[in-house]
Structure formats: structure tokens, C-alpha cells
């Protein structure tokens, strides 16, 4: 633990741990933990936390002229100024984000460019996506005519619930919904275009939006492999689910396991851990165009 009484742990999730710094700042630390079906595996994935943090930092700066962010810095020297003792926590370097406290909106702001996941299941069942009509005759992994803003609730317990735009407006107000919808669609379009240039397709992603000083800001992780479906463009075929760019070795192994999806998790072989770690590193380097060794904490 850092030598700052204010940097006290206040939350531990499946991947991130949250610390209170002061009344205006928090410290978010991304671990190497890996989960499936809400169960955390016993084996960490080396470099995963650094990748998630580094990619978030990349996109925040990429979008900086368009949308403000809650992120203050990932630089250990900057964090040290508010969190004395952080410099000695080498294991946190590159995986920690100093952020401003934000009043989080009670919506998951999902944007979908392709038909996949829960959206595909709903489409097959009812011809809609989040209760909204979509074109007939679409196949799995097909692109929508335009990216779609498809929010869901944030549930205190259990799984989030997909909702339509009318219910989202009831939750946050029509004006706020219009603003976050425009913001998220704009960011998705920009990111999808950038990823296309390096041979990747952004199928969908989840944004977290909050309010700081009466302004809407981007929060938490941004277009990471954990919050997005990112596919290799040359492996996308209509009617098929393309391989995930990050966890595919782990997912392939898990599908073959006779596991009932409840704790305890099965032991993950060292070869699968190594392959999955390599995929995360490749994701960082293809998205940012930089070697991971240049990121903090190498």
C-alpha cells in the first residue's frame, strides 16, 4: 500500500481496484486478473493491466480535442505528487490511472457497428436490437447501415439490462441522452476509422460517461480489448463469429472445458496464459503503433 493515508482502498472489481486519494481524485489500478462468466481465474495474464491502461491513455489523448476525460495522468511522477510513496510501487507503474472524481451516469453507453453478442441473439428472436427496429436479413457480424447507440442499465446486482432509447431518456433525461449519444457515436466513428487503418474492425464498445464540474467526461477504460469487440479485418465473414483479438486462445480453451461456469474456476494451462498475454501485447502495439516496452512499468 502507498504511504498516503488518503489513498485507501474503496473497491475491488473483477479487474480493477479503486483507491481514494482525496475529495477530488481517485486512483484506478488495473490488475492482470482474467474473468469468465463473472468468475475470476486463479492465473493472472502478464501485462494485461498495463495494456488496458496504456490503450485507455492512448484513446483519451486521441480524443482530447473532442471530448474531455476524467483522466489526469498515468505518469508515475505526476501520480507521486498526489500519492506520496507511489514511486516505490513499481508493480503499479503503467497500470494505474489518477482520475478526477466523477458523478457517473447510470447507463452503460454501448455503441455497435456490427451485429454480434446479445444484439445478435435479440435480432434472431425478435428482429430488433435493444428494442429498436433494424434492417431485415442481417447475418452475424454484418455491419449496421450506421453505428447504433444501444444503452443498457447499470444494475447493483445481477446482469445489466439492455434498454431502448425511450427508457434511457427516462433515466438520464432526453437532453443528456441526446448529448451522450452524439458524443459516443462520434468517438466510435473516429476510433473505427483509426483501427481500420491497421487492419482491425471495431465491432462494438462500451463507454463510461460521468460529470465533472458540470461537464460530461469520458471515464474508466476506453476502447480496450476488455470493453470492446475488436476483430482482425481479414478474418471477418458474414454469418460467422470472427476470432476475438484479445482473449481468443483463452476462449477456445474454455469452450472445450467441461466446466459448469461456477467457482472454483479450472486451472488455466501455462501455454494458454502465455498465448493470451501475447495477444494483449499485440493489441496494444497494433492499436497504438508503439512497443509496450515504451509504456510505463516496463
Residue 247 placed within a domain: no
C-alpha grid cell, residue 124:
434472431
Which of 67, 101, 135 finishes a domain? 101
Please indicate, yes or no, whether residues 180 and 218 belong to a single structural domain of this protein: yes
- pLDDT of 3: 47
Please indicate, yes or no, whether residues 15 and 128 belong to a single structural domain of this protein: no
- pLDDT of 1: 41
Number of domains the chain contains = 2
Residue 139 placed within a domain: yes
Nearest to 199 by CA among 245, 252, 241: 245
Q: Which residues sit opposite 18 in a β-bridge? A: 11, 28
Please indicate, yes or no, whether residues 213 and 123 belong to a single structural domain of this protein: yes
Which residue has cell 453505428?
Answer: 147
Distance in angstroms (rounded) separating the CA atoms of residues 157 and 275: 33
* Domain carrying residue 42: 1-101
Q: How many CB atoms lie within 10 A of CB 157?
A: 4
C-alpha grid cell, residue 36:
469468465
CATH number at residue 225: 3.30.470.20
Please indicate, yes or no, whether residues 223 and 129 belong to a single structural domain of this protein: yes
Which of 101, 127, 156 finishes a domain? 101
Please indicate, yes or no, whether residues 231 and 114 belong to a single structural domain of this protein: yes
Q: How many CB atoms lie within 10 A of CB 36?
A: 18
79 φ, ψ to 5°? -65, -35
Q: Which residues contact 170 (CB under 8 A, 6 or more apart)?
A: none
- The SS3 call for residue 145 is strand
Task: Report CA dihedral (137, 141, 145, 146) to the nearest 10 degrees.
Answer: 150
Whether the Cβ atoms of residue 210 and residue 103 lie closer than 8 Å to each other: yes
Per-residue pLDDT in tens (0 to 9) along the chain, 298 residues: 444 544 789 999 999 999 999 999 999 999 999 998 889 999 999 999 999 999 999 999 999 999 999 999 999 999 999 999 999 999 999 999 999 999 999 999 999 999 999 999 999 999 999 999 999 999 999 999 999 999 999 887 667 899 999 999 999 999 999 999 999 999 999 999 999 999 999 999 999 999 999 999 999 999 999 999 999 999 999 999 998 887 888 988 998 988 998 999 999 999 999 999 999 999 999 999 999 999 999 9
Q: Using alpha carbons, list the distances in angstroms from residue 296 to 69, 109, 252, 282.
A: 20, 29, 31, 17
Distance in angstroms (rounded) separating the CA atoms of residues 271 and 119: 33
Distance in angstroms (rounded) separating the CA atoms of residues 107 and 171: 8
Residue 248 placed within a domain: no
Nearest to 191 by CA among 171, 170, 206: 206
Q: Tell the burial category of 38 from Cβ atoms under 10 Å away from its Cβ (0-12, 13-18, 19+).
A: exposed
Residue 294 placed within a domain: no
- The SS3 call for residue 287 is helix
Which of 82, 101, 120 finishes a domain? 101
Please indicate, yes or no, whether residues 97 and 109 belong to a single structural domain of this protein: no
Amino acid at each position: 500500500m502507498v504511504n498516503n493515508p488518503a489513498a485507501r482502498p474503496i473497491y475491488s472489481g473483477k479487474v480493477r481496484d479503486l483507491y481514494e486519494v482525496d475529495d477530488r481524485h481517485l486512483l484506478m489500478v488495473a490488475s492482470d486478473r482474467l474473468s469468465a462468466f463473472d468468475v475470476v481465474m486463479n492465473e493472472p495474464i502478464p501485462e494485461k493491466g498495463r495494456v488496458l491502461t496504456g490503450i485507455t491513455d492512448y484513446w483519451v489523448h486521441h480524443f482530447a480535442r473532442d471530448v474531455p476525460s476524467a483522466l489526469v495522468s498515468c505518469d508515475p511522477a505526476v501520480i507521486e505528487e498526489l500519492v506520496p510513496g507511489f514511486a516505490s510501487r513499481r508493480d503499479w507503474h503503467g497500470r494505474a490511472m489518477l482520475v478526477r472524481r466523477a458523478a457517473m451516469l447510470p447507463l452503460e453507453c454501448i455503441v455497435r457497428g456490427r451485429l454480434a453478442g446479445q444484439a445478435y441473439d435479440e435480432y434472431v428472436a425478435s428482429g430488433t436490437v435493444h428494442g429498436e427496429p433494424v434492417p431485415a436479413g442481417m447475418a452475424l457480424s454484418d455491419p449496421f447501415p450506421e453505428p447504433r447507440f444501444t444503452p443498457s442499465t447499470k444494475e447493483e446486482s445481477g446482469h445489466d439490462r439492455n434498454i431502448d432509447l425511450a427508457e434511457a431518456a427516462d433515466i438520464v433525461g432526453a437532453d443528456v441522452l441526446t448529448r451522450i449519444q452524439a458524443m459516443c457515436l462520434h468517438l466510435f466513428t473516429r476510433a473505427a476509422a483509426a483501427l481500420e487503418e491497421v487492419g482491425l474492425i471495431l465491432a462494438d464498445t462500451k463507454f463510461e460517461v460521468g460529470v465533472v464540474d458540470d461537464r460530461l467526461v469520458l471515464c474508466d477504460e476506453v476502447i480496450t480489448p476488455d470493453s470492446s469487440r475488436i476483430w482482425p479485418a481479414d478474418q471477418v465473414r458474414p454469418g460467422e463469429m470472427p476470432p476475438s483479438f484479445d482473449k481468443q486462445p483463452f476462449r477456445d480453451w474454455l469452450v472445450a472445458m467441461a466446466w459448469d461456469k461456477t467457482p472454483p474456476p479450472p486451472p488455466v494451462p501455462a501455454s494458454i496464459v502465455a498465448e493470451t498475454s501475447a495477444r494483449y501485447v499485440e493489441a496494444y502495439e497494433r492499436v497504438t503503433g508503439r512497443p509496450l516496452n515504451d509504456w510505463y512499468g516496463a
